[in-house]
Amino acid sequence: MTTYTITKVRKESSSDGSHKHIEGVCTTAGVHYTRKQVVDSIKAGNVWKTSADGYTATVETMSYCPKSGCLAAPYIKTKSDSTKKDNLENLDAC
């Protein structure tokens, strides 16, 4: 099992242009991974965490983007009790 630390995210416009969602993440090593790569890695038993301003949160998988009607899949999120500082959606851009 390997633990990866996410410090930044890359977002893209949704197919209908109504919002931006996570396309991928960047780690402390500066490596970019797509959402699918992160999901596949979690399913293989690896752990992904965010790290920002001293806060951390564990990344979880979900079937689709949480925006109503958006079918971007697979998708990733942090636990709902995470602070704003470690929430994937609020990390700086890579």
Q: Vertex 75, ends 66 and 19: CA angle to 5°?
A: 50
Mean pLDDT on 47-57? 89
Please tell me the total count of domains within the chain: 1
Q: Do 9 and 94 form a contact (C-beta atoms < 8 A)?
A: yes
- Whether a cis peptide bond, with omega within 30° of 0, leads into 74 is yes
The answer to whether residue 72 scores a pLDDT higher than 80 is yes
Residue 31 has pLDDT above 90, yes or no: yes
Is residue 81 in some structural domain?
Answer: yes
In a domain, 32, yes or no: yes
Looking at the whole model, is its pTM more than 0.95? no
Q: Please tell me the distance from the alpha carbon of residue 7 to that of residue 36, in angstroms, as a whole number.
A: 17
**Domain membership flag for residue 93:** no
In whole angstroms, what is the distance from residue 8 CA to residue 90 CA? 9
Domain extent, residue 18, equals 3-87
- Going by the DSSP 8-state scheme, the letter that residue 15 receives in this structure is T
Q: Is residue 25 part of a domain?
A: yes
In a domain, 92, yes or no: no
